[in-house]
């Protein structure tokens, strides 16, 4: 019957080419630097983000500390200079008053001849070296002020020399000899120049003082602004870090609760699966026993009437039922191996291998086997589980070398690293093709036919599961008809 939905060719009318009027096609522009930075930051883990946040806080503290230190240093330096300026202004005022007092006393002496009026002159004469030393110290580092101080010292020296000459003339010629000097003053010009120079010194210091006050005020204001901004920035960063930590803790609690819930579900499912596996195994064993038993009874009761082909059929049924029973037993062992509690203790592999070989003595009868057993380390693990590992590997080695006139089986340790040892079991048996190496440790995975080598394909799966539960690794190497080597790692005995 023909289908009513047959495809029919469709004919479309020719259309004129349509010209685009939207201008050149726009291409997507590459992401900006900000976008790339945001994406890069989004890929960070929570630990990296928290560490970056604390790093920024620490960097901010360092920057603020450096800036505050520099501003504080400026304030301290200006304060020291301000103190020196105040001392200089005070000293200049004292010098000016002392010179005025000395000049007035000197004129009175010239009029009266009373030497008591020369006390101010003598005081200035005695203290002038000290004044000069103080002036040089207080103007150190300011060349223009030091030049004025030098001019001031020279003018004071000239004034004192003029007054000393007037005193000598008074003593020699009396009042008439110094009348003109007594009325006008002995060093009127020098004294006026001294006062002008003192005013210049004070004015310059006052300007410098005001400049430093403005600089100190600016530094203080900048420090306060910097501290406020730094505090706000650090509060923002700390709040961000707190948010990240709080978010991470909340997320981890959620994940932990989810994992706990799933663990409970998985535990319940495992219990149900365990009960189901025991139930299924019991229910499967009964019909298998019936199949095997009735096939055997049929072979006995009707054996004479059956031909060779029928008897072979019955034997195949019986062998298949027995193999199915063995598969069920091995699968239950594999299932229990994942749930069995581990007993961690120190295991001597030398003694364990000797025990396993002794248990396999029945499989060794009538065979020529060359054993090479190297020194094996002491490891940390479950003795019963590790015995199962060597039992499976050595049984495989014996099975796959049964066609050799002389079987060669080697057991040893290839290398030892800190806290771990690698053990190997090598044979010269049938081997395997390395392209199928990934199938070796799978459940029911077999690389040989059952008529060549018997087995269920569970042994190596048990080996991998046991080694993984011990925290180790498994691997295999081999070649067809050139033997195979199975490697596995185990944690070594901890040093006391």
Distance CA 76, CA 109 (A): 49
Using 50, 70 and 90 to split pLDDT, how confident is the model at 19?
very low
Domain presence at residue 295: no
Whether 164 shows a pLDDT value over 60: the answer reads yes
Kindly state the average pLDDT of the residues 223-238. 83
Domain presence at residue 291: no
Which of 128-137, 238-247, 372-381, 464-473 is least confident?
A: 238-247
User: Which of 209, 234, 259 is the last residue in one of the domains?
Assistant: 234
Distance CA 333, CA 327 (A): 10
Do the strands 345-348 and 378-381 form a parallel or antiparallel pair, or are they unpaired? antiparallel
Q: What is the pLDDT of residue 340?
A: 60
Whether 459 shows a pLDDT value over 80: the answer reads no
Residue 368, SS3? coil
Residue with the two structure tokens 């029928």: 310
Kindly state the average pLDDT of the residues 241-256. 82
Distance CA 192, CA 155 (A): 10
Whether 107 shows a pLDDT value over 60: the answer reads yes
Q: Are 98 and 124 in contact (CB under 8 A)?
A: yes
Do 358 and 223 lie in one domain? The reply is no
Whether 451 shows a pLDDT value over 60: the answer reads no
Q: Are 225 and 71 in contact (CB under 8 A)?
A: no
Distance CA 151, CA 144 (A): 11
> What is the domain-level CATH number for residue 441?
3.30.565.10
Angle (deg, nearest 10), helices 308-339 and 459-469: 0
Using 50, 70 and 90 to split pLDDT, how confident is the model at 411?
very high
> How many other β-carbons are positioned within 10 Å of the β-carbon of residue 421?
21
Angle (deg, nearest 10), helices 188-301 and 143-173: 160
Q: Which of 347, 473, 494 is nearest to 414 (CA)?
A: 473
Q: What is the pLDDT of residue 92?
A: 87
Domain presence at residue 203: yes
Kindly state the average pLDDT of the residues 348-376. 88
Domain presence at residue 298: no
Phi, psi of 6 (to 5 degrees): -60, 145
Q: Are 109 and 115 in contact (CB under 8 A)?
A: yes
Domain containing 449 equals 340-491
Domain presence at residue 120: yes
Using 50, 70 and 90 to split pLDDT, how confident is the model at 14?
very low
Kindly state the average pLDDT of the residues 176-199. 78
Name residue 372's beta-bridge partners: 410
Do 70 and 215 lie in one domain? The reply is yes
Domain presence at residue 308: no
- Quote the percentage of the chain above a pLDDT of 70: 80
Whether 29 shows a pLDDT value over 70: the answer reads no
**Mean pLDDT, all residues of the chain:** 78
Whether 460 shows a pLDDT value over 90: the answer reads no
Domain presence at residue 249: no
Kindly state the average pLDDT of the residues 222-238. 83
What 8-state DSSP symbol labels residue 421? Answer: E
Whether 106 shows a pLDDT value over 90: the answer reads no
Phi, psi of 425 (to 5 degrees): -130, 115
Phi, psi of 396 (to 5 degrees): -60, -45
Using 50, 70 and 90 to split pLDDT, how confident is the model at 282?
low
Distance CA 493, CA 496 (A): 9
Whether 9 shows a pLDDT value over 60: the answer reads no
Q: What is the pTM of this model?
A: 0.44
User: Which of 171, 206, 234 is the last residue in one of the domains?
Assistant: 234
Q: Which of 431, 430, 457 is nearest to 446 (CA)?
A: 457
Whether 491 shows a pLDDT value over 80: the answer reads yes
Count of domains observed in the chain: 2
Q: What is the pLDDT of residue 16?
A: 42
User: Which of 196, 211, 234 is the last residue in one of the domains?
Assistant: 234
Helices (H), 345-440: 349-359, 361-364, 383-400
Which of 143-157, 163-177, 207-221, 460-474 is least confident?
A: 163-177
Q: What is the pLDDT of residue 131?
A: 84
Kindly state the average pLDDT of the residues 197-212. 88
Domain presence at residue 39: no
CA angle 84, 95, 214 (to 5 degrees): 30
Distance CA 121, CA 160 (A): 8
């Amino acid at each position: 019957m023909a289908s009513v939905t047959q495809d029919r060719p469709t004919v479309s009318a020719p259309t004129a080419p349509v010209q685009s009027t939207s201008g050149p096609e726009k291409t997507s522009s590459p992401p900006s630097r900000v976008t790339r930075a945001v994406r890069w930051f989004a890929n960070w883990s929570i630990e990296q983000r928290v560490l970056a946040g604390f790093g920024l806080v620490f960097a901010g503290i360092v920057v603020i500390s450096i800036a505050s230190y520099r501003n504080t240093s400026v304030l301290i330096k200006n304060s020291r200079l301000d103190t020196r300026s105040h001392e200089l202004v005070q000293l200049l005022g004292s010098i000016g008053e002392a010179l005025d007092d000395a000049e007035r006393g000197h004129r009175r002496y010239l009029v009266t001849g009373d030497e008591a009026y020369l006390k101010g002159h003598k005081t200035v004469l005695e203290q002038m070296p000290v004044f000069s030393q103080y002036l040089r110290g207080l103007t150190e580092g300011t060349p223009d002020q030091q030049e004025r101080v030098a001019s001031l010292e020279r003018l004071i020296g000239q004034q004192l020399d003029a007054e000393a000459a007037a005193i000598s003339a008074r003593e020699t010629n009396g009042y008439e000899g110094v009348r003109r000097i007594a009325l006008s003053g002995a060093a009127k010009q020098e004294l006026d120049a001294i006062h002008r120079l003192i005013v210049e010194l004070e004015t310059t210091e006052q300007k410098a003082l005001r400049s430093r006050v403005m600089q100190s005020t600016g530094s203080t204001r900048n420090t306060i602004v910097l501290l406020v901004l730094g505090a706000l920035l650090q509060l923002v960063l700390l709040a961000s870090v707190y948010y990240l930590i709080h978010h991470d803790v909340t997320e981890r609690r959620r994940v932990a609760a989810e994992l706990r819930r799933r663990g409970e579900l998985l535990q319940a499912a495992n219990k149900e699966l365990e009960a189901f596996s025991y139930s299924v195994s019991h229910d499967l064993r009964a019909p298998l026993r019936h199949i095997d038993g009735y096939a055997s009874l049929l072979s006995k009761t009707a054996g004479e009437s059956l031909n060779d082909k029928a008897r072979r059929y019955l034997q195949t049924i019986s062998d298949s039922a027995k193999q199915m029973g063995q598969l069920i037993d091995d699968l239950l062992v594999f299932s229990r191996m994942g749930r069995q509690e581990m007993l961690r203790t120190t295991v001597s592999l030398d003694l364990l291998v000797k025990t396993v070989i002794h248990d396999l003595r029945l499989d060794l009868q009538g065979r020529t086997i060359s054993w090479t057993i190297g020194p094996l380390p002491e490891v940390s693990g479950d003795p019963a589980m590790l015995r199962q590992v060597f039992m499976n590997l050595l049984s495989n080695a014996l099975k796959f070398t049964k066609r050799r006139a002389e079987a060669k089986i080697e057991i040893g340790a290839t290398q030892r690293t800190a806290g771990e040892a690698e053990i190997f079991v090598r044979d010269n048996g049938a081997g395997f093709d390395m392209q199928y190496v990934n199938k070796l440790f799978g459940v029911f995975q077999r690389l040989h036919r059952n008529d060549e080598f018997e087995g269920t394909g569970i042994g190596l799966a048990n080996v991998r599961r046991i080694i993984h539960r011990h925290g180790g690794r498994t691997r295999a190497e081999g070649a067809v008809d050139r033997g195979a080597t199975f490697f596995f790692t185990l944690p070594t005995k901890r040093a006391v």
